[in-house]
Amino acid sequence: MSTPDDLTKMIKEMAVRARKASRKLASLSTAAKNAVLQDMSRLLDERRSLIQVENGKDLANGRAKGLSAAMLDRLELSDKVIDSMIQGLAEVTALPDPVGEISQMAKRPNGLDVGRMRVPLGVIGMIYESRPNVTVDAAVLCLKAGNAVILRGGSEAIHSNLVLASILQEALAGRGINSDAIQVIPVTDRDAVTIMLAQEEHIDLIIPRGGEGLIRFVAENSRIPVLKHYKGVCHIYVDSSADLSKINPIVLNSKVQRPGVCNALEGLLIHRDIAARCLPSLAAELHGAGVELRGCPESVRLVSGIVPATDDDWGSEFLGLILCVKVVDSMEEAIEYIEIHGSQHTDVILTENYTRARRFMAEVDASAVMINASTRFNDGGQLGLGTEIGISTTKLHAYGPMGLEELTTRKFVVFGDGQVRE
């Protein structure tokens, strides 16, 4: 590809072909979709060495460019990562097919039966960064929900993404399915993203996954609806009536189990009446796990080793072993703090008080609100969706983890026997 016009033409043609492929996918039977998913599993297993040769090119380029060890690790398609892609495929194959389900059927006074039938969205655009396994995870979820997908991964994973897509396309073709259902954009400059985001006639939904910079770029440049979350600034409020034995395990798990992810804990709010009883032992355990605590004056007074927080700390997404701590006078103050500093991702109350549990659950505006549980449960798999394609912290269409159902919509179906409107 040489000129911007060529690039625009190529991406537009890909989108038109995806739209065409999506029309057939929409009426594919569950059995046909599961058969091709099983073929994909088998082919990924058989083509390990091919995958690893192509992945090796990305790794070599990455090393030459001086990527960090962590980034190279995310880029690598080791046997273990390939195993987990195959395992993911088996899980998606086993999930119930949402397409065609009719719900809310009701008879109208004039005898019409009115219901809603779940149908695919059409064409999904996935824009993501380094991890090439997203190519397979996202493609198979879109396929199972009857959608075509256009994938745009990071430039550092381009060889890996292209070989993975070619294997998935081979499986499609082997079952007589239009292989345009799964396409990878083969061009790595950012113009390709901008052009993709302008194909509102042919792409129905954009899902970006990656750092806040990428997601803001996508949100600001897209003419297509975007489902996204910028960040996860998750909070736990420890109520005055919290069960002391539950506090430390839940807070530790929320903060420490995997601190670099969006559902990790970033802010801890403790009611004044329980702070002196719980904070010293909790801080000791957190310090023991390597967590730096940055607190309000009251928490600094209660526990030596908590350092004073700066204004910038409140509401920060640390994605590491740092935690903000604030003593509050009431649940109302905690809810107000979360409204200001939270990111509508995951907020938790620890309490044994029935009325406050009910009020917190009703009043806190987040994609997942929890009572007496770890923030880490805000995840499609953990919440029962089977698997997820992303998490939305905006409210249109989906709020929270998005699984197969969120990759579909519902049309009205009306069964009549001659009715006309009065």
Residue numbers of the site for a second copy (CB under 8 A)? 23, 26-27, 100, 106, 108, 112, 114, 117, 119, 121-122, 204-205, 220, 223, 225, 243, 245-246, 249-250, 252-254, 257, 339, 361-363, 365-374, 376-378, 382-384, 394-397, 399-401, 409-421
CB of 208 to a second copy, least distance (A): 15
CB of 271 to a second copy, least distance (A): 18
CB of 302 to a second copy, least distance (A): 24
CB of 401 to a second copy, least distance (A): 7
- Does residue 212 contact residue 200 with C-beta atoms inside 8 Å? no
- Does residue 338 contact residue 375 with C-beta atoms inside 8 Å? no
**299 vs 408 by CB, closer to a second copy:** 408
CB of 205 to a second copy, least distance (A): 6
CB of 116 to a second copy, least distance (A): 8
- Does residue 408 contact residue 146 with C-beta atoms inside 8 Å? yes
Residue partners of 247: CB distance under 8 A and separation at least 6? 238, 278, 282, 350
Structure tokens that stand for 49 in this block: 């060495």
- Does residue 94 contact residue 179 with C-beta atoms inside 8 Å? no
**80 vs 411 by CB, closer to a second copy:** 411
Nearest in space to 390 (alpha carbons), one of 183, 138, 164, 185: 138
Rama region for 66: left / alpha / beta (φ>0; ψ in -120 to 50; rest): left
Nearest in space to 278 (alpha carbons), one of 313, 302, 254: 302
CB of 135 to a second copy, least distance (A): 24
**188 vs 248 by CB, closer to a second copy:** 248
**179 vs 409 by CB, closer to a second copy:** 409
Q: How far apart are the first and last CA of the chain?
A: 59
**209 vs 376 by CB, closer to a second copy:** 376
**329 vs 365 by CB, closer to a second copy:** 365
Residue partners of 231: CB distance under 8 A and separation at least 6? 212, 262, 317, 343, 345
**69 vs 106 by CB, closer to a second copy:** 106
**161 vs 343 by CB, closer to a second copy:** 343
Structure tokens that stand for 89 in this block: 């495929």
Identify the three-state secondary structure at position 103: strand
- Does residue 322 contact residue 292 with C-beta atoms inside 8 Å? yes
Nearest in space to 348 (alpha carbons), one of 364, 330, 329: 364
**191 vs 339 by CB, closer to a second copy:** 339
CB-CB neighbours of 318 under 10 Å: 20
CB of 398 to a second copy, least distance (A): 8
- Does residue 161 contact residue 153 with C-beta atoms inside 8 Å? yes
Residue partners of 354: CB distance under 8 A and separation at least 6? none
CB of 196 to a second copy, least distance (A): 17
